Structure 1
């Protein structure tokens, strides 16, 4: 049976209250992140149903790897979030696997964003305007951020792939679904001189940032594709070495063939049901679950929009 998950909410200086639109009872007025599918130690989800009810996802990963196709990775590889940016996030960069494992003891962080909602004229920062390492270092040291950062206008339904090493920031008034490697390592470059509730500025990581910024990542490069699997149509948002992410629009009925032994599913619009091996489960916007290797005959019914990810 699918593993339905209880979200974990994270308070953020830039967060708001829009996550209530997904039916969540949020704990803070500045709830920035819903960790929707997570086995990360900083926010592992609790399972809500079945024989693993009240286990956490990381526990099940460790105790029954067969549910995940006997995946031999050290840790659960993916993390799905919904972010509500009431204010702009810090400008930041994430390391790749090699740097993160050497310095942080976890995965690197390649991620991608599906824009769930965006205010008019909302924008993100993506990439830098520096042609070489010396110029980059000088611009960071001299805080020439207006010239350094590249901004991009966004709207609902847009998609962005953000490889490790890409300088990026989500702007004010944007809500996204993020699929990422299971990592919580962030190097901040600029935080608008903000202070937290204790009057303290958040730490910056300028030297680490200089070491991991990839100067070749200067503009968005995702090219979603319309594809067909077993006569069912869907959109492949990205296929990378770290994850594949798909968008499925269900109208009435879809017989869903899992693309891998296990996959992650987030319902972002609508309602309906999923029938797995003859057993039905109701679905609504804001639910997240894992289809395991035991879930074979899968059918979705209703009017649903969902994001599916897998490695």
Structure 2
């Protein structure tokens, strides 16, 4: 099977801006808050944008070609969703449930996620958990009295920061940041504070305080340190997250003609698994075994099936590779540079 480009679904949430247009995102809306780059979620699917399956939803392709998802596994639920986020204004303060709670109450999976900061204005920050332990009653009162921001950790961020957010962690992205979010394949969010904003219909957006109380970690917490980068031949790489649902790694080319091989049981991730490439800087060329070439540029989203033919990416570019490698499978990784 040949790899292919993906076209995202764009979301025009009220806090979005214009920066994602610099990453090639197109929308008729006045703002683009998110672009769902790798998604089989019914709230916004990725569409195949190149090759003989062009125009087909990704979920339909994987249903018809299950070996392109996994070669030696069977899964009923696509595990991951990858998106760009442009926080022109503060996002709501929110929390996501874990798997058990989400399955019982929402018929959905939970949501743990990781952010990679692509752009950050000088005053950019995030909200991450509580400064000190509070009770559910104190939490309710803080929302009613408009004092919740006094209880949360406000953490400055800069380009290159990595923030892992486990399910149950209160969080938000404040204005002035563009991030890549790699998350479980879920769209369940419990919003608890929204700065009294009015939506396009003149209504306050719904809050989900009681469900949030059910799932929140009320203990104080701090942001984990950003993982250290490593080097291997022509590339620098930084592990962003490793969970049962996704593994994400940042790869940065050291040279103008750095080469990364994939497919044919070598390259990205496990031979048993798909891989997804999201280019965040630079440009390059994909060359497949049969000689076909596919140009890559900043913002491009590229899907490598588990049964992909051999190929390589050449160029001076930075990208995030996401897969769902299963360490229990008895296969060896073979990075070929």
Number of aligned residues: 311
- Separation (CA, whole Å) in 2 of partners of 1:216 and 1:232: 39
- Does structure 1 residue 276 correspond to structure 2 residue 288? yes
**C-alpha spacing 1:34/1:139, structure 2 compared with 1 (3 Å):** same
Q: How does 1:54-93 map to 2 (within 5 A)?
A: 54-70=55-71, 71-93=73-95
1:99 corresponds to: 101
- Counterpart of 1:301 in 2: which secondary structure? strand
Look up the SS of the partner of 2:27 in the other structure. Answer: coil
Measured at CA, do residues 142 and 74 of structure 1 come closer, stay the same or move farther in structure 2, by a change above 3 Å? farther
Aligned residues of 2:235 and 2:258 also touching (Cα < 8 A): no
Asked if 1:162 corresponds to 2:165, the answer is yes
User: Secondary structure of the equivalent of 2:303?
Assistant: strand
CA offsets 1:203-261 (integer angstroms, 9 cap, x no match): 00000000111234721115413346688542112222332111111231223312122
Between the aligned partners of 2:220 and 2:56, the Cα distance in structure 1 is 39
1:302, 1:220 → 2: CA distance? 33
Post-superposition Cα deviations, 1:11-67, rounded to whole Å, max 9, x if no partner, equal 111011111111222221222111111110010111112232221011122222111
TM-score (norm 1): 0.93
- CA distance in 1 between counterparts of 2:107 and 2:244 reads 20
CA distance in structure 1 between the aligned counterparts of 2:134 and 2:91, rounded to whole angstroms? 26
Which residue of the partner structure matches residue 259 of structure 2? 254
Partner of 1:51: 52
Distance 1:242 1:222 in 2: 21
Q: Structure 1 residues 90-99 or 137-146, which shifts more?
A: 137-146
Question: Within 5 Å, which residues of 2 pair with 1:202-217?
Answer: 202-216=205-219
Relative to structure 1, is the Cα distance of residues 230 and 217 closer, same or farther in structure 2, using a 3 angstrom cutoff?
farther
Q: Which has the higher strand share?
A: 1
Extract unaligned runs of 5+ from structure 2: 262-266, 325-337
Q: Which moved more, 1:248-257 or 1:198-207?
A: 248-257
SS at match of 2:14: strand
Return the TM-score normalized by structure 2.
0.87
Instruction: Give the secondary-structure state (helix, strand or coil) at the position aligned to 2:229.
Output: strand
- State the distance in 1 between where 2:215 and 2:104 align: 12
Matching residue of 2:133? 131
Per-residue CA distance 1:112-155 (angstroms, 9 max, x = gap):
11111111111110111342544545544554313221100011
CA distance in 2, matches of 1:232, 1:89: 34
In structure 1, what is the equivalent of residue 241 of structure 2?
238
- Structure 1 distance, partners of 2:226, 2:130, is 21
- Distance between the aligned counterparts of 2:100 and 2:316, measured in 1? 42
**Coordinate RMSD, CA, aligned:** 1.9
